[in-house]
Amino acid sequence: MSVLKGKKILLGVSGGIAAYKTASLVRLFIKAGAHVQVVMTPASKDFVTPLTLSTLSKNPVHSNFFNHDDEDAVWNNHVELGLWADLMLVAPATANTLSKMASGNCDNLLIAVYLSSKCPVYFAPAMDLDMYKHPSTISSFNSLKQFGNIMIPAEKGELASGLSGEGRMAEPENIIAFLEADLESKLPLKGKKILITAGPTYEAIDPVRFIGNHSSGKMGFDIANQAADLGAEVILVSGPTHLKVKNSSIKVVNVVSAQEMYNACHEYFNNTDAAIAAAAVADYRPKEVALQKIKKNSDEFTIELEKTKDILSSLGAIKEKQFLIGFALETENEIENAKLKIQKKNLDLIVLNSLQDEGAGFKKETNKVTFIDDKFEIEPMELKSKESVAVDILNKVIEHFAKP
């Protein structure tokens, strides 16, 4: 899955022959799952039509401060456009547009949007080779880099003048690859490996019956998807569930029983930076598992149970550098029971759920949690979607690794 998925991208198109490539560029953005709005300089419309880019982006194309053809002369708010974007790309960036960006010469909508933007700005120069090497152009490059803008270098090749050399705008595929690589390198969990458990475990009674619980696995899957989107290498150990991961980079290890989950966690834990135990693991299992289906021969039936291995406690006992997060689902004395679990299992953070809270618990789209760390600092959170709770949990991981 592309890191551009879901990103709001503002594409600025200036007046150079390379503007024809923006049709392919917009198409690639949309294919990657991005949302695109296009701002064109008046001169760029001589090279590619607004209708083409509007059709491909599925959004109106903006070129003037207000639409002259509209009776109400609706204003194209450059501030709103600049604030809307997660990133802005100016491509092609001609010598004229680069000079205006560097000097703040705001005589068209594109420059006004650029000056109003709060997001990262990339620019892909496109001009003839002598223009590309001219001191004034190099000065513009340097000024824009000092502003924090990111240059996508031009490529060498045949130019519109008939000459061959540096100045050709990077091909759309190469621009996409550059953006993806740059964004991925800046993801807050890039280079971190995180082990996550999710779902219930099923403890067999006989070949057709089991002891289980109502966990859907959604909380763990949401954490895994968010962690992967933030750049982490994710290993998801999941009990039986119908859920599928949204990020194809996640390594999914499917298990059924608590013992299988224990084995999988210990296989991967030593090589991880963090572990988040969101699974609802059975505390007990049948001591003996019948090899054949048990017949209903009597009014009463007794199953002797034995404790399963405590996965979280076993990880806490061997952890070294890992940031270990556990979950606690309580129905009474929630805070005190959670604190005891932190001490007993050597946790760095616990995510407390209470079945007393409306909207929390199994098989719900929402969750209401309280964070308690190993210093017993308590942080209650509001009722949120499980996706938002996953973000909150991973922010704790990011904060931990950001500490000096």
- Convert the pLDDT of each residue in 12-32 to its tens digit: 999 999 999 999 999 999 999
pTM (2 d.p.): 0.83
Examine the domain organization and report whether 181 and 300 are in the same domain.
no
Q: Which residues pair with 379 in a beta bridge?
A: 371
Residue 213 catalytic?
Answer: yes
Examine the domain organization and report whether 331 and 247 are in the same domain.
yes
Q: Is 348 helix (H, G, I), strand (E, B) or coil?
A: coil
Count of domains observed in the chain: 2
* Domain end position, chosen among 166, 185, 204: 185
Residues 269-281 have pLDDT tens digits of 999 999 999 999 9
pLDDT at site 210: 94
Examine the domain organization and report whether 144 and 259 are in the same domain.
no
Q: Which of 213, 247, 337, 346 is catalytic?
A: 213
Instruction: Decide if 266 is inside a domain.
Output: yes
* Domain end position, chosen among 148, 166, 185: 185
User: What is the domain range of residue 123?
Assistant: 8-185
Instruction: Decide if 3 is inside a domain.
Output: no
Examine the domain organization and report whether 137 and 41 are in the same domain.
yes
Examine the domain organization and report whether 202 and 317 are in the same domain.
yes
Examine the domain organization and report whether 316 and 368 are in the same domain.
yes
C-alpha count within 13 angstroms, C-beta hemisphere, residue 190 = 9
* Domain end position, chosen among 140, 166, 185: 185
CATH code of the domain containing 271: 3.40.50.10300
Examine the domain organization and report whether 140 and 279 are in the same domain.
no
What whole-number percentage of the chain has pLDDT above 90?
78
Examine the domain organization and report whether 177 and 214 are in the same domain.
no
Examine the domain organization and report whether 42 and 165 are in the same domain.
yes
Examine the domain organization and report whether 54 and 181 are in the same domain.
yes
The whole-angstrom distance between residue 367's C-alpha and the CA centroid of its chain comes to 20
Q: How many other C-beta atoms lie within 10 A of the C-beta of residue 230?
A: 19
Examine the domain organization and report whether 133 and 244 are in the same domain.
no
Query: Is pLDDT above 60 for 69?
Result: no
Query: Is pLDDT above 90 for 359?
Result: no
Give the pair of three-digit tokens for residue 72.
């109400």
* pLDDT averaged over every residue in the chain: 92
Distance CA 257, CA 250 (A): 21
What whole-number percentage of the chain has pLDDT above 70?
94
- Please give the average per-residue pLDDT across 237-252, as a whole number: 94
Residues 158-177 have pLDDT tens digits of 888 787 888 999 999 999 99
Examine the domain organization and report whether 30 and 152 are in the same domain.
yes
Distance CA 357, CA 199 (A): 21
Q: Which residues of 361-383 are buried (b: 16+ CB within 10 A; e: fewer)?
A: bbeeebbbbbbbbeeeeeeebee
CATH code of the domain containing 122: 3.40.50.1950
Distance CA 10, CA 344 (A): 51
Tokens 């705001």 -> residue: 106
Instruction: Decide if 2 is inside a domain.
Output: no
